Amino acid sequence: MESAIVATRHGKVRGRILENGVSVFLGIPYAAPPVGGNRFREPRPPRPWDGVRDTVEYGPTAPKPGYPRPFDRLLPEPVVPGEDFLNLNVWTPDPGRSGLPVMVWIHGGAFRNGSGAVPTYSGANFARDGVVCVNFNYRLGVEGFAHFPDAPSNRGLLDQIFALTWVRDNIAAFGGDPDNITVFGESAGGMSVTTLLSLDLGLFRRAVAQSGAGNVAQTPEDAALVIAEVAARLGAEPTAASFAEIAPSRIIPAQAAVAAEVSMFPDAGRWGASTVRTAMSHVPVLDGDLLTRRPEEAIADGAGAGTDLLIGYNSEEFRFFLMPNGLADLITDEVLTPVASAWGVPRRVLDAHRDLHATPGEQLAAVISEALFRIPATRVAETHRARTWMYEFAWRSPVHNLGACHALELGFVFDTLASITPNGLAGPNPPQPLADTMHKVWVDYATTGAPGWPQYTPVTRQTRRFGDPDNPLVTAPNDHLRRLWHD
């Protein structure tokens, strides 16, 4: 096996050289293990090492629950045991080069699942096409986002910032340009991207937010309701000191049960409105320190004005959550109205969708797709005070009645359709030409800052539609529905 050695600020690492010449370095620690005295604390630098550290296998992944069926087959979730899970992976065309564009991926998973070891997220094909690609793990669920009175909030976000700082300080050694970094992410990763954009960190030049925008943030009061329930199920106090005595393996089942209730039974009286409207239990918190307001509000006031943004959504996002498990068939008219209302859907929007979809389940999928994804993305695109482009992913999966659902675009963006099983989201024969097109757009954007279609403005609303060859560029898609939300 051919190898390559790179010197980082904490020590030398040895990676593998693939058959196409791409060099890959896996499991590099960017922070100290968040265990013992570091648990529920801000991330801290890793301990330097002597000699050369082998980085040829994925490092440990963050503690997390497994996905329930059938989602475990649709979204692979590798588990690598170990405490040193604040690690990252680098794919580079050639560590001997310089000035290459850099892309840094933030994985999704509702802030409680996911890792950089997911096969779909391999950066090998970005490196094949001239981009240094990085992805990383961060703390999830209670470990990363529970709001405690005796610990810093938003530890998972602090991990992300720590990883991006590592990239800025070390990526030149891998051939990358620290002044040409694009951060991109999907779902919770896309929400993280817009949150980081709103903080004006100066750590990246461009951003891509896929199926996640700036509407996600909990109030401290609502976050406290969630962790109090998790604590009650564990017989613990809702403090970091109490949870530090409990192993993650014990916390995760209680965390997962509460997360399921938050998403399945959206009760604002029990969980708080800011929790219910994200459909997630542990998310970034408005702690008054790192986050002082919702990201979309900060962006509307000018945050992120020095950073280009590509933002988009999939046409039928929420079908992912309702169709493969049969939940859509359980939605009745009596259930539809209160659930949609709890998620902030205006009655006029729901009435409009009753005429567009045949069943209450399909109506709910459509209105929550708008509430959680399309409308928040549109709001950010409308108000972002820098170059902005918008896209819609419209190709429909032939399996499980998924349609153009959440997470379906991932294999196309990374050009990793070959890693997706025939039973996966995209089915047995996903169109490689669409992956060729979409992957090239992401590469071009990271390299030149131009994805290849006109910028989005509140006047033109031009949107690139992937997977619709008859309408690759549309003006103001579904504008009548958008206006109903704005009204």
- Residue 178: per-residue pLDDT: 98
Q: Which of 72, 137, 134 is nearest to 102 (CA)?
A: 134
Residue 445 identity: Y
Q: Tokens 């009175």 — which residue?
A: 149
Sign of CA dihedral 206, 208, 213, 217: negative
Q: What is the structure's pLDDT at 487?
A: 65
Specify the amino acid at residue 72: D
Token couple for 187: 């779902």
**Which CA distances in Å does 27 have to 33, 97, 115, 119?**
12, 22, 11, 14
Rg (CA), the chain: 21
Residue 92: CA count within 13 A, CB half-sphere: 28
- Decide: residue 408, CB within 10 A, 0-12 exposed, 13-18 middle, 19+ buried: buried
Phi and psi at 384, nearest 5°, equal: -65, 125
Rounded to 5°, angle at Cα 93 from 87 and 97: 100
Would you say residue 124 has pLDDT above 70?
A: yes
Cβ atoms of 85 and 62 closer than 8 Å? yes
Q: Does domain 3-486 have CATH number 3.40.50.1820?
A: yes
> What is the average pLDDT across 319-325?
95
What is the overall mean pLDDT for the chain? 96
Residue 322, SS3 per DSSP: helix
State how far the Cα of 60 lies from the Cα of 344, in Å rounded to an integer. Answer: 38
Write out the DSSP string of 376-408. Answer: HHHHHHHH-SS-EEEEEE-PPBSSTT-BS-TTT
Between CA 9 and CA 448, with CA 160 as vertex, the angle to 5 degrees is 80
Encode pLDDT of 358-370 as tens digits: 899 999 999 999 9
The pLDDT value given to residue 422: 65
**Which pLDDT does position 320 carry in this prediction?**
97
What are the φ and ψ backbone dihedral angles of 264, each rounded to 5 degrees? Answer: -85, -30
How many other β-carbons are positioned within 10 Å of the β-carbon of residue 368? 21
In the predicted model, what is the mean pLDDT of residues 419-423?
A: 73
pLDDT band at 218; cut points 50, 70, 90: very high
Q: How many angstroms from the chain centroid is the CA of residue 132?
A: 19
Identify the pLDDT of residue 259.
Answer: 96
- Catalytic amino acids? 187, 317, 406
Q: Are 467 and 395 in contact (CB under 8 A)?
A: yes
pLDDT in tens, 68-86: 888 998 998 999 999 999 9
Tokens of 421: 């099983």
pLDDT of residue 14: 98
Q: Indicate the residue type of 341.
A: S
Percent with pLDDT over 70 in the chain = 99
State both tokens at 472.
């690759």
- Give the CA diameter of the chain: 67
Which position has the token pair 């040829």? 56
* Whether the predicted pLDDT of 155 surpasses 80: yes
Mean pLDDT of 441-465: 97
Q: At what angle do helices 347-354 and 333-342 cross, to 10 degrees?
A: 140
Beta-carbon neighbour count of residue 233 at 10 Å?
A: 13
